[in-house]
């Protein structure tokens, strides 16, 4: 997405540099936030992302699991369409006894 900033000349092709921004107050009940490219959100619903990230015992692997799921969804649901960039970061708000360092994950395609 960052490559689109200022690329006015490609707006005729559907690329826009106006981000979609929402604001939310984080409470003590919020567990994590998922930052991901549209390649993830095109094939993964919010609820699916919650279920995937919540189900991974090792938090350090949750972004990787989400990316792997998105890659499989692209291959199954969008055959013949070039796979979009698929990247994700999971940021957890509360520490856990087994917390590991979180690394961003990018699809190696």
The model's pLDDT over 56-71, given as tens digits with 9 standing for 90+, comes to 999 999 999 999 999 9
Using an 8 Å Cβ cutoff, are 38 and 19 in contact? no
Using an 8 Å Cβ cutoff, are 86 and 74 in contact? yes
The model's pLDDT over 29-85, given as tens digits with 9 standing for 90+, comes to 999 999 998 899 999 999 999 999 999 999 999 999 999 999 999 999 878 777 788
Residue where the block lists tokens 């990787």: 64
């Amino acid at each position: 997405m960052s490559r689109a900033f200022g690329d006015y000349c490609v707006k005729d092709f559907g690329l826009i540099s106006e981000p979609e921004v929402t604001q939310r107050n984080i409470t003590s009940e919020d567990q994590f936030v998922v930052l991901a490219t549209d390649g993830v959100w095109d094939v993964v619903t919010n609820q699916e992302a919650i279920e995937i990230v919540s189900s991974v015992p090792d938090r350090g692997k949750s972004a990787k699991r989400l990316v792997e799921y998105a890659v499989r969804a692209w291959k199954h649901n969008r055959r013949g369409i070039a796979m979009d960039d698929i990247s994700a970061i999971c940021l957890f708000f509360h520490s856990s006894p087994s917390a590991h360092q979180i690394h961003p994950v990018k699809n190696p395609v």
